[in-house]
Chains A and B, each alone.
Chain A
């Protein structure tokens, strides 16, 4: 059995096996159905989509019941829960419309293209920072690289649609070159906001 999350609720989503640790219940799923990070994520998303609120464990971590028996993270669950209860995350990414431009094969031209890409990434980060600042919602650290800048924002479930519209409006306000696109995805379980303090002993 693998641990996919924590809940303070006595009810657990369909398919989850509860394992109580004090006030908290670890949500377990069979090892067969949770072999890969994608499989673990798929189950977490299915739980989240039913409206069930829980603290998701990073899908890349394969935590067993034995791991959480000695978990040092129980003290942090309360704090994490206060931050994410009733919330999900949107994932925002500013990226070039065409991500697969061919690279020159001459050394000097290659270096100049890399410089242009670096400038572009800086521009993407500035644009994303502006959008996120105007939204005025909790945000995780911006990730930069691979020609894009991306961030996750924490959004109340009931305000998801309103936030989506606000993102579109803010993005339209900012004049940028025609080759930039803002991708929005969600609502996802708030994975980017739960990992600090969820380490195991």
Chain B
């Protein structure tokens, strides 16, 4: 049975509420971090598309076990690498989701 919980305002929720905008803000004082967020966000988005395609091929039985292992390892390491670089700019993995307005978020 589904459990319903009353949620106190958590940090995560405050983040979601305060992010309610469809703009990417590039501020002159934080331009490096803002640009890094855009570039890394696009890389994270492309990586996720590749992951979805890999899962689709896996479901269709189009990959051998060795290919699944290789693809899985590559995608896993790519994600870790993107998160590592993002951390150097003080960007959390959640911040890599770019808001495309009516199309929703990228990841």
Q: Are A191 and B20 in contact (CB under 8 A)?
A: yes
Interface string of B4-46 (1 = CB under 8 A from A): 1111110001101111111101000000000000000000000
**CA of A38 to CA of B3 in the docked complex: distance in angstroms?**
29
**CA of A171 to CA of B8 in the docked complex: distance in angstroms?**
19
Complex partner residue of B9 from A107, A109, A182, A185, CB under 8 angstroms:
A185
**CA of A101 to CA of B66 in the docked complex: distance in angstroms?**
25
Complex partner residue of B13 from A59, A144, A178, A185, CB under 8 angstroms:
A185
Identify whether the interface residues of A are mostly helix, strand, loop, or mixed. mixed
Interface string of B44-56 (1 = CB under 8 A from A): 0000000110110
Interface membership of A138, Cβ < 8 A: no
Q: Are A182 and B1 in contact (CB under 8 A)?
A: no
Q: Are A111 and B71 in contact (CB under 8 A)?
A: yes
Nearest chain B CB to A136 CB, angstrom units: 18
Q: Are B13 and A37 in contact (CB under 8 A)?
A: no
Interface size on B, residues (CB 8 A): 42
Q: Which single residue of chain B is at the shortest CB-CB distance from A146?
A: B94
Q: Are B4 and A106 in contact (CB under 8 A)?
A: no
Interface membership of B91, Cβ < 8 A: no
With contacts A115-B58, A127-B2 taken as known, whether A106 is within 8 angstroms of B20 at the C-beta atoms is no
Q: Are A178 and B1 in contact (CB under 8 A)?
A: yes
Q: Which of A141-163 contact B (CB under 8 A)?
A: 141, 143-146, 150
**CA of A108 to CA of B105 in the docked complex: distance in angstroms?**
27
Complex partner residue of A195 from B8, B14, B22, B59, CB under 8 angstroms:
B22
CB contacts (< 8 Å) of B102 on chain A: these are 141
Q: CB within 8 Å of A: which residues of B?
A: 1-9, 13-14, 16-23, 25, 51-52, 54-55, 58-59, 65, 68-76, 94, 97, 102, 104-105, 107
State the 7 A-B residue pairs at the shortest beta-carbon distance, nearest first.
A107-B72, A107-B73, A111-B72, A37-B18, A58-B21, A185-B7, A59-B18
